[in-house]
A and B are shown apart, each in its own frame.
Chain A
Amino acid sequence: MSSPTSLTETRHSSPVPRRDAKPKLAVYWTGSCGGCDVSFLEVGEAIVEVLSRVEIVFWPALVDAKRSDLEALPPGSIDVALINGVIRTEENAEMAKLLRAKSKYIVAYGACAHLGGVPSLADRWGKEEIFREVFGKGFRPGPPPGANGEAALPDLLDAAVPLEDVVRVDYVVPGCPPPAPLISRFFGALLGGEMPEPPHVFANVKALCEECQRVRHDDRRIERIVRPHEVLPDPETCLLEQGLICMGPVTRGGCNALCPAAGMPCTGCLGPTPEAGDPGTAMLSALASLVRFEDEGEEYFPKEDGVLEALADPLGTFYMYSFGRFRRKR
């Protein structure tokens, strides 16, 4: 909880329009792996400047503040609250609602808050099934025998849901975790006093392929499907053409095609482009169009089926980060 000092005020006089005071910032994690909290360091030395120009009022990973401190704040007194993680427990939902009440803007930070993320793949099963699988018979969520109600762990919600299912979300900084260019884009807008009209996603509207440096061919088709550990991909050619399932065609750009540049297919962490809509069915369609041989017809059906058969896990491939948003049982 830093307060402005004359030193930082003079050192960081900036040409961009300044707000009257430092924006009050909250960062909170719900059902999260912690990677999002670490991701801020991705921007490098700029983090020093960013931290000096905001006032942190609540950030459990960084400063000591209790829920009661947050409760004591007047409504709307936090300028921006960044929430990362999926909403999995009753407590997650309570905290999201509390932050909503205390904040002018809520930012879904990272794939879990944005679309449910990897934890929402658990939504293939109901809460009871998950308890049965993990704890076996006899587990009851609730206080241990003899303990008072206060000792109870917060109960799981029926599903692991994205933040927007619980509170109104103004902005999204997507990614797993959000990549440096998008974190910079967000803080640039915030500190420059040029936040766009909500709702807004801090990533490109166009697909990742638009910024990918790999070469695509017009007559591309897929004659085999392979997984990343099975091949050493050619460094120049489009990964899809090489049979690696790259979610690039249906995923927002903005990360500078970080993974494809390193030889790994895009897994879709920035979420689908507005045009793609449901990333899973959009990618399924794209893949079905690409898998073919030099000609099409009945005689090629068995060969085509053989190629498609090699797709090991359609759900995990197509909905790795977006199951909670797009396919969860409602």
Chain B
Amino acid sequence: MASVNGFEPRIVAFLCRWCSYAGADLAGTSRLKYPPNIIPIRVPCSGRVDPQWVLEAFERGADGVFIGGCHPGDCHYVSGNYKTRRRVVLLKKLLPQLGIEPERLRLEWISATEGQRFAQVVTEFVRELKELGPIVAGGDALRVTRDGQVQIER
């Protein structure tokens, strides 16, 4: 990742296979440009995203976590995205208590046809995270080494 200002955020993205993952695919096949900072993980439904994964991603040094789900009413499993939305509301209340800015967690509805929107949302999220800076937990910045070790930067 080439970086201009020295900080390139790492984003773990959980993408629903029915909509957001297909949306990301469309962005790719349409050759749309967006920053390469996201690490996409395909999940069967945004409702499959265990809140533990979100916290673990942050604890292991992710600067942002992105969850992509189907638009309201479109969930393949009827109500998975509604549950996810309520989890995200609660997580955003919990994160500040853990010393993590709630803005680092982002939930978006992106359908399979919205490749353009996917690229735009990711671009926006990366810009916001660059403004926030690297993740800091309990006053110490975390750094992830190439072999996946998390180190505390003093």
Contact = CB atoms under 8 A, between A and B. Distances in A.
A binds B: yes
Interface string B134-152: 0001111000000000100
Contacts of A291: 86
Interface string A309-330: 0010111001000000001011
Query: Which of A288, A298, A308, A311 is the most central at the interface, judged by chain B CB atoms within 10 Å of its CB?
Result: A288
Given A124-B99, A278-B52, A284 B90 contact: yes
A124 B139 CA distance: 10
Contact of B94 (A297, A305, A315, A330): A315
Given A124-B99, A292-B82, A329 B137 contact: yes
Interface of B: 50-52, 55, 59, 72-73, 79, 82-83, 85-87, 89-91, 93-94, 97-99, 137-140, 150
Contacts of B55: 278, 281, 327
B98 A297 contact: no
A14 interface: no
Interface size class of A (residues with CB under 8 A): 20 to 34
B87 A284 contact: yes
Given A125-B138, A288-B87, A281 B93 contact: no
A315 B90 contact: no
Interface of B is mostly: helix
B89 A308 contact: yes
Interface string A16-31: 0000000000000000
Interface string A281-308: 1101101110110001110010011001
Nearest to B72: A298
Contact of B52 (A125, A281, A297, A313): A281
Contacts of B90: 284, 287-288, 308, 311, 314
Nearest to B54: A281
B59 A285 contact: no
B86 A327 contact: no
Interface of A: 124-126, 129, 277-278, 280-282, 284-285, 287-289, 291-292, 296-298, 301, 304-305, 308, 311, 313-315, 318, 327, 329-330
24 contacts: A124-B138, A125-B139, A126-B138, A129-B139, A277-B52, A278-B52, A281-B51, A281-B52, A285-B50, A285-B83, A288-B83, A288-B87, A289-B86, A296-B79, A296-B82, A297-B72, A301-B85, A304-B89, A305-B89, A308-B90, A313-B97, A314-B90, A315-B94, A318-B94
A304 B139 CA distance: 33
Nearest to A159: B138
Contacts of A281: 50-52, 55
Given A126-B138, A288-B86, 7 more contacts: A284-B91, A289-B83, A298-B73, A304-B85, A311-B90, A329-B138, A330-B59
A329 B151 CA distance: 11
Contact of B140 (A292, A314, A329): A329
A129 B99 CA distance: 13
A322 to B, nearest CB: 13
